[in-house]
Amino acid sequence: MTPEILQGFLRNNCFIFHSEYGKKGVTLTTAQRLKNQITNSAQLKNGQNLNIFTGLENVADIDKDCLEVIELANRFLPTAGIVFGRESTPTSHALYKVLDLDKKNTRLHFSFRDSDKNNTLIEIRAHGHYTMCGGTYDCGEKVVHTKLDDLTEISYEQLKKQVSLLALAAVILRKSRLPNVAEHNMFFKEFAGVFNQYKLPEDDAVKIFESVISVGSCQNCKDDMNVRLAQLKSVYKREKGLKTVGLPSIVKKYDWSENEHEDIKKILYAITGRDVLPDFTNTFVDRIAYMMKSGLYYDLEDKEMYTGEAIDVKYARDFNNGKYTPLKFWKQHPDRKVCVDFAYPPADPNRFITVGGKLKINVFEKNELVPDATADTDKFWDLVSHVIPHDKEREHFLNWYAYQIQFPGKKIRHAIILQSDEFQLGKGSLFDLLRLMLGLHNTRKIELEESLDKGKGYLINAQTVLIDEAKSSGSWSEKSKLINTLKTIITEGTIGVRQLYKEYSEQDTCTNYWINTNHRDAFSLPENEVRYWVYFSPAKRDQQLLDDFHDAKDNYNLAGGVLHELLQRDLSKFNPLAPAPTTEYRTEMHGLADRPLNDFIREQFEQGVFPFDRDMVTTVELFDYLKKEKRVKITREREIANAIELIGGKKRKNCPTQVGKFSTIWIINDAPRLEKLTTKELAAEYVPFYFDSKINYAPANNHLVR
């Protein structure tokens, strides 16, 4: 740097300090920079690089980092007093005196990440930064000085806006030159819609169009400049509410990356002043949606509905500049979402979706579990084989199980019913593992009562639902009602729902159903029913197997391993729309379940009502007692025997009692003791309770009168 050039900087009160020659990067501390200050030409030495300490004396540097910005700079930036740069880009730096420069004004930069290279477009360097203004770069290029006049004075907001407009124009110029922009007429028309969407002042929009078209390489656009500007102005004159192309449409059409989308939004926010809000508020509009039917706001962060006041209170600290309240900002934002209802389509990755012309919120949340090819899955296969030992039935169950993992949101047009005489066999554990793979938030465990609820909330936010009949006390009529209720929702893609405080509506549903029970007569299945696949497990409870399964699930990522294997499972022969395969168990359940007698005996037994409070009964006596005393319609003793068996009764044949020489005694209480007795001992202990020829029953005190 010559003394004359140095004087040009010093005359404008620029703080100059020296650093190592040939290196652009400065590692000096602030104290060292202050110590190395150069205040006169006598301090100049060969073998020095010189730098401006920006911010001091209100001096700011505009660093133009890309070709498009340099091409357009003179159309947006005020004339600069000092201009310099490296030999290949001699006008890449311009100095200004910012009258109201504050210490919080450090560095403002705009990037456009459309490549793997340096993606900075332009930056304002102020307090705490520096710019090399003399010497040699690492690559050997020297600093050249284009202009050394008095610094132009400007306010920070003015400078910031012009830099923002320049950055936006540079992006549009760069994109307009790409080969995938075949129709410039449509390209500029689409950006006119974006400018209007983001509330750019019309004069600024016109300036961007004029500058980009003038500097651009398309002669047709230059010839049709007036047409392009007329199109722009017509977009701004459109009535509010008329549909225009928005930024998301451009991003999709021209295959922009998420980074490019984010970067241009940042520039647009800066032009309109919305960047003065915290970064959080630029995404705030995507966190809140207004629900028309309820008049409430849905917070996508915590998945709850709130009043407007609650939203303002929750987010007030993020809007502390006093210019906006959260909802005022949201209401004025062009990207705000006003929705009609919720939807649950797992196959759709979009948060907001349009169904039948209505905007809805997709409340599906993808599970974060990652498939793990290294996890040991033996305990899963051991438990499945134990619960379902029959090969054919096990294969169907596994296909049904895996289909929901491979095709989330696809409906299987039949439910499964798993029955076991043993409690805690492992049926529920298999469902729990499925929950870990699909996500706890995407699955539900409900009891019989909830499944009959007219609100049917489980229909609209779950992939798979377990109806745990074993924990319910549903009557025969309730179970019949459940079967009739499920008939439609198992097979149809929509269902009528009446939720609390809402009108009746048709809702889409992709839910699949799994029913666990310990009762073979659990449901009154019609003959030839095709909507249910039924399996009765003959297995006995294996505590060690269950302990090993849960240890693998809780400590060794069993879910991740099974997820990996089921994603690879061949499902080419599984048809989710086909009727459920017929099983002998479905036929048996049909034969057993269509019996109100079964429910009557179970309810009497569970309440300890005579004669089911006794340790032993015979079907001969029960047949007469229920017909004559309780007026129950029965035609055969076998019906009673089936009902006693279903409540866990243990049968002992050929017992010589007062009822008959070859009576069948059913043990219904105190089984551990009575089962150890021989047939003769059991017969000797048995006391009849309703045998007309020998005994009269006295109901007042439950005693026998001989």
Using omega within 30 degrees of 0 as the cis cutoff, is the peptide bond preceding 248 cis?
no
Which pLDDT belongs to residue 372? 96
Which pLDDT belongs to residue 574? 97
Percent of the chain with pLDDT over 70: 88
Confidence of residue 367 (pLDDT cuts 50, 70, 90): very high
Q: Let me know if residue 309 belongs to a domain.
A: yes
541 and 600, same domain (yes or no): no
Residue-wise pLDDT tens digits, 117-169:
888 999 999 999 999 999 999 999 999 999 999 999 999 999 999 999 999 99
Global confidence as pTM: 0.53
The dihedral formed by the CA atoms of 520, 523, 524 and 530, expressed in degrees to the nearest 10: -100
Angle ∠(500,503,505) on CA atoms, nearest 5 = 110
497 and 568, same domain (yes or no): yes
Residue-wise pLDDT tens digits, 28-63:
899 999 999 999 998 988 889 999 999 999 999 999
225 DSSP 8-state letter: H
Residue 346 in contact with residue 364, Cβ under 8 Å? yes
DSSP structure string for 281-324 = HHHHTTTEEEETTTTEEEETTTTEEE-HHHHHHHHGGG-TTSS-
Nearest to 466 by CA among 539, 509, 510, 416: 416
Residue 387 in contact with residue 426, Cβ under 8 Å? yes
137 and 176, same domain (yes or no): no
Alpha carbons 505 and 497: distance in angstroms, whole number: 5
Which pLDDT belongs to residue 706? 32
24 DSSP 8-state letter: S
443 and 568, same domain (yes or no): yes
What average pLDDT score do residues 644-663 get?
Answer: 90
**CATH, residue 575:** 3.40.50.300
Q: Let me know if residue 363 belongs to a domain.
A: no
Q: Let me know if residue 350 belongs to a domain.
A: no
Alpha carbons 165 and 208: distance in angstroms, whole number: 7
Residue with tokens 């984010």: 262
Q: Let me know if residue 351 belongs to a domain.
A: no
Note the residue count of the chain: 706
Residue-wise pLDDT tens digits, 89-115:
999 999 999 999 999 889 999 999 998
Residue-wise pLDDT tens digits, 290-320:
999 889 999 988 889 999 999 999 988 877 6
Residue 415 in contact with residue 490, Cβ under 8 Å? yes
pLDDT of 504 strictly over 90:
no
Which pLDDT belongs to residue 236? 84
DSSP run (H or E) holding 705: strand 703-705
34 and 98, same domain (yes or no): yes
Alpha carbons 170 and 68: distance in angstroms, whole number: 5
Residue with tokens 């905007």: 359
199 DSSP 8-state letter: T
445 and 502, same domain (yes or no): yes
580 and 610, same domain (yes or no): no
Alpha carbons 448 and 468: distance in angstroms, whole number: 7
Alpha carbons 665 and 270: distance in angstroms, whole number: 88
546 and 410, same domain (yes or no): yes
The CA-atom distances, in angstroms, between 242 and each of 188, 202, 245, 356, 442 are 18, 18, 10, 19, 38
Token code pair at residue 207:
């300036």
Give me the helices (H) in 177-319, please: 184-197, 202-215, 219-223, 225-237, 247-253, 258-272, 281-284, 308-315
Q: Is the dihedral of CA 507, 510, 516, 517 positive or negative?
A: positive
Nearest to 311 by CA among 294, 292, 327: 327
Residue 231 in contact with residue 192, Cβ under 8 Å? yes
Percent of the chain with pLDDT over 90: 54
pLDDT of 702 strictly over 50:
no
The CA-atom distances, in angstroms, between 514 and each of 257, 344, 388, 400, 430 are 42, 19, 15, 10, 11
What average pLDDT score do residues 466-470 get?
Answer: 75
Q: Is 382 helix (H, G, I), strand (E, B) or coil?
A: helix
Token code pair at residue 5:
């050039």
Which pLDDT belongs to residue 471? 44
- Domain range holding 635? 595-705
Residue-wise pLDDT tens digits, 197-246:
888 899 999 999 999 999 998 899 899 899 989 988 988 887 554 456 67
pLDDT of 195 strictly over 70:
yes
Q: Let me know if residue 359 belongs to a domain.
A: no
Alpha carbons 348 and 78: distance in angstroms, whole number: 49
Q: 357 — phi, psi (to 5°)? A: 80, 5
Q: Let me know if residue 345 belongs to a domain.
A: no
Confidence of residue 13 (pLDDT cuts 50, 70, 90): very high
Number of domains comprising the chain: 5
22 and 116, same domain (yes or no): yes
211 and 323, same domain (yes or no): no
Q: Let me know if residue 73 belongs to a domain.
A: yes
Domain end call among 230, 252, 275: 275
Alpha carbons 530 and 528: distance in angstroms, whole number: 6
Mean pLDDT of all residues in the chain? 86
Q: Let me know if residue 287 belongs to a domain.
A: yes
552 and 431, same domain (yes or no): yes
- Which of 65-74, 96-105, 414-423, 477-486 comes out lowest in average pLDDT? 477-486
Domain end call among 533, 562, 590: 590
Residue type, 223: D
Domain end call among 590, 618, 638: 590
412 and 545, same domain (yes or no): yes
Q: Which residues sit opposite 84 in a β-bridge?
A: 93, 145
